A and B are shown apart, each in its own frame.
Chain A
Amino acid sequence: MIRNGAADILIVDDEPDICWALTHILKGMGIVPVTTTSGREALRLARSQRFALAFVDAKLPDLDGLDLARRIREGDAAVRIVLVSGYFYRDDAEVRQAMAAGLITDFVSKPIPHEEIQAIASGVVSR
């Protein structure tokens, strides 16, 4: 089920400790994700390797989260993108539109409930 050593989950958040938290949640499931604090770096990573899942912070200093999602999606229609944000709410118009358009597959608000991350990740892992 789990491709050993396969880092097919990407985490991008400008806050290193959010990356730390997400990494530990996934590690608990036996997954080692790829993390970055830069939107541009995330885009570069997404273009150089395939990810099954990407957790994307909605507000990055160098790139807007939804913009980043759109550009990752352009290169890979299959990747599941989860918007993680302390700025938006699940029922915000922008989030609902992005979900309806299939740009993002899910939304998790900060503070992050670990079980939501686990549920999303296990969906990818068990696929």
Chain B
Amino acid sequence: MKKISRRAPRPAGEAADSEAGRYKKLYSMLLDASPSSVLLIDSQMRVVSANRNFLEKAHRSEVETVGQRIDAVFPPAIAQQMDLTGLVRAAFEHNRPTRGERIAYRAPGLATRTYYYRLIPFSWQGAIEHVMLLLEDVTEQVRLGEENRRVERHLASVVESASDIVLSTTVDGRILTWNAAAERISGFTLSEVDTRTFFDLCAEPHRARARRGFETVKRGKGFGVAEWDLVTKSGALVPVSWVGSVMKNDRARVVAVVAVGRDLTERRKFEAHLLQSQKLAALGLLAGGIAHEIRNPLSIASSAAQFLSEEPEDPEFRRECTAKILTGIQRASRIIENLLHFARPAGQPDMVRVDLVRIVRDAAMLAATQAGIQQVNMEFELPDDPVLVSGVPGLLQQLFINLFLNALGAMPGGGSLRATLDRAGAEVRVRITDTGCGIPASEIERIFDPFYTTRPMGKGTGLGLSICYSIVRQHFGVIDGESVEGRGSTFTVKLPLLNEGVVGE
């Protein structure tokens, strides 16, 4: 600015000219800087001006271009395809800009390029002076757009052809997308669920848990792995294992939740078979102890009957014999009852209110028969009042019988087995400690793997602890094992205490 003020004053006419010149310069600078081609065409179809971009793209000089008819400037294929002269004429006639159009052109020996073009009439004081032709090479944008759509289609087909449910929701759980597997498994189409939330689709007992899972989403973390049943359109329940992760935008803000769900129906069937076979294997281990346990009361009853058959004279002794027979039979039948209870398939794995103290005590009763013949001293520290959890009684009993039998299996030469049950915060903790052979530190990582066993062939299936693990998981609990080789092992099961306030959750 200071430079200008220092210039010598100029005559008025020159000043106006120089002002116009200044605008012209600015105008041509702007035009030349534009990444689009800009042409001005007069009503005679002649080029009035062409910007740098056009000249470069067309490989023409300004002299070869300005003043030329447009059909001489453009390759005939383009001019014809666009009907350029027709368009220019129409723009002059109607004084209306055309809508943007696209044209694909392939110069000889080059790849096809796509251009976007638009004609805009320029009028000055009521007369249309020129038509401006804007031409932009959008080949790259088109290519990127197509590439994007191709990737999108590809990803969509991956999602669609997945056998697992893949869905996305808002942060509040409202369903956004829903793949074919989701439709197949649930019976609902996207339009039937897009006004609903993910929690609405979860079965009643799991709904509150799913809702809590989504709380972590708001903190920017996925809900991890969870097993929540899905209610289908027909009202049936499908067990589903979910993995939830969050989708973030460029500013790391959570914008959606992606949930992938696997239908566990088949796996549950398989697990049920596995549980039953493992149970039968556990029964095999219990059989010796049970035979011993049942034959004692049978023997007492039998002896009493043999005495009675000799018709003893002493009425007191006769009464004693009768009482022994009745007690013996009752004892034997109680053992059989407990055994049958355990042997029976779990049936519907419905979660009910369960007193864990009773479960542990019943399991201990079955295991005690085996402990007795192994000179294992069993010690229990159980609360007198019930400790309630939500669970499948048959499975929990199998869990503790497995743990007791494992402990006994580690003490073939006798020892002691100690079980304690206590409440710790919102959980109940059961610790089972043995003084057995222990597990080498190198193997402790593998103890919950299926078929891991230290026992000789035919003595164990190697399924016990892996089944314990799956039972505990199914009850939203944790199991871990600590061991010192040669000293013994401790297994701890932690299960969430039943919160009476939310029984129906």
Which positions in A face B, CB cutoff 8 Å?
Answer: 14-15, 17-18, 20-21, 24-25, 28, 59-64, 85-87, 109-114
5 extra A-B contacts, CB within 8 A, seeds A59-B372, A111-B295:
A18-B300, A25-B303, A61-B372, A86-B291, A86-B294
Task: Out of A24, A62, A63, A86, name the residue touching B299 (CB < 8 Å).
Answer: A86
B373 at the A/B interface (Cβ < 8 Å)?
A: yes
Q: Contact residue range for chain B?
A: 20 to 34
Residues of A near B297 (CB, < 8 A) are 17
B344 at the A/B interface (Cβ < 8 Å)?
A: no
Q: Which 8 A-B pairs have the closest CB atoms?
A: A86-B295, A21-B303, A111-B302, A110-B299, A111-B299, A59-B373, A87-B292, A110-B295
- Inter-chain CA distance A14–B292, complex, in Å, is 12
- Inter-chain CA distance A1–B375, complex, in Å, is 39
Given known A-B contacts A87-B288, A87-B291, A18 and B307 have beta carbons under 8 A apart: no
B296 at the A/B interface (Cβ < 8 Å)?
A: yes
Pairs A–B under 8 Å by Cβ, sample size 29: A14-B372, A17-B296, A17-B297, A18-B300, A20-B300, A20-B324, A21-B304, A21-B307, A24-B303, A59-B292, A59-B372, A61-B372, A61-B375, A64-B375, A85-B292, A86-B291, A86-B292, A86-B293, A86-B294, A86-B295, A86-B298, A87-B373, A109-B295, A110-B296, A110-B298, A110-B299, A111-B298, A113-B306, A114-B306
- Inter-chain CA distance A88–B293, complex, in Å, is 12
B328 at the A/B interface (Cβ < 8 Å)?
A: yes
Residues of A near B372 (CB, < 8 A) are 14, 59, 61
- Inter-chain CA distance A25–B307, complex, in Å, is 8
- Inter-chain CA distance A87–B299, complex, in Å, is 12
Interface of B is mostly: helix
- Inter-chain CA distance A60–B376, complex, in Å, is 10
Which positions in B face A, CB cutoff 8 Å?
Answer: 288, 291-304, 306-307, 310, 317, 324, 327-328, 372-373, 375, 377
A80 to chain B, nearest CB (A): 21
- Inter-chain CA distance A64–B295, complex, in Å, is 18
Let me know if A21 and B291 touch, CB within 8 A: no
B192 to chain A, nearest CB (A): 63
Let me know if B300 and A21 touch, CB within 8 A: yes
Residues of A near B304 (CB, < 8 A) are 21
Residues of B near A28 (CB, < 8 A) are 310
Residues of A near B302 (CB, < 8 A) are 111-112
- Inter-chain CA distance A25–B300, complex, in Å, is 12
B369 to chain A, nearest CB (A): 10
